[in-house]
Amino acid sequence: MSKSMDMQQKYRDIIERLDVNYKKIKTMRPLPAAGVAYFRNEFAISTTHNSNAIEGNTFTYDETKLLLEKGITSSARSFREHEDIVGYKKGFDFLYEALKQGTEISEDFVKRIHSFVQQGAEDAGEYRTIQNYIGDLSRVVYTPCSPREVPDKMKDYIQKVRSDSKKNKDLMARENIEWEKLFHGFAEHHIEFERIHPFTDGNGRTGRLLLTYEMISLGLVPVDIRYDERSRYYAALAAYEDKLRYSTRPESKTEKLAKLLAECELRSSDLWIKTFSDYCQADASGTEKADQAGQASASSPGGKGKGKASRGK
């Protein structure tokens, strides 16, 4: 079997396992609110560490956890890094408050997320007014659109995401979910946001939080792209530009990122099931019964549970 065929089979296996997991998770509700809150907090710490580490933040996982849980920071880290950690966690928590309110993605919503990610920065929550670059001035990897084009491109991006989100809700309601189509859509939205690069700084972290919101809005467990997956993540983003020029298959532009997101979703859903499986078995047997009144809305997947978080950097 060729390497390409082997990778395709691996992806099909992941999709099949995801489908099984999703159907199982749907039967694991309602769950204890305290357990879901614990799970979500553990996930938030992990994704806060990983998403910032991907961008070069030097806080370790343990330092991230200590800062977020105890308010204790390391004197070896800069104030900007401290703000990035605290702001990202606030942004993550904001997503769940927005979900409760049924908030749709809009330009104001995107700017609000960025204001958390870049808390303390002068231009937090504001579109850029200068030309920025991906890479550095000595080795420009990609040049986003000019600042004057940002508002119009963001309007188109928001319109596309909102339209696709409605279609995705219909997809999720079907007996046989088109998982590959779903993850190609997630990948397309994320890549388009990063191509626009609407802010001077904080685009990667803002984009990953937007991706999280898209997923939890559909009842999925959010993904945590780990620091040790950084090279693969950046390669998947770069592949879009290459395929845009040379490939005739539309899906080829997003397939690398779609596969990475599917793997991350499988990992998160496996952990969700592992975390709550004993509770559900005990509840079904009648040997343990928690007070679950009014907790259905708190029981949608929200993050990483009892397993160890990726320490990455």
Q: Which residue ranges make up the annotated binding site for ATP?
A: 201-208, 233-234
The C-alpha atoms of residue 143 and residue 38 are separated, in whole angstroms, by 41
Whole-Å CA distances, 310 to 30, 56, 61, 224, 272: 28, 16, 8, 9, 15
Cα 148 to Cα 167: distance, rounded to the nearest angstrom: 31
Residue 134 three-state SS: strand
Active site residues: 197
Q: Which of 113, 122, 62, 124 is nearest to 90 (CA)?
A: 113
Say what the alpha-carbon torsion angle 133, 122, 205, 37 is, to the nearest 10 degrees: 180
**Which tokens sit at 106?**
């809009």
Residue 9 token pair: 């089979």
Q: Using DSSP, how many helices (H) and how many strands (E) does the chain show?
A: 10, 2
- Count of Cβ atoms closer than 10 Å to residue 37 Cβ: 14
Known binding residues: 201-208, 233-234
Under 8 Å between Cβ of 197 and 148: no
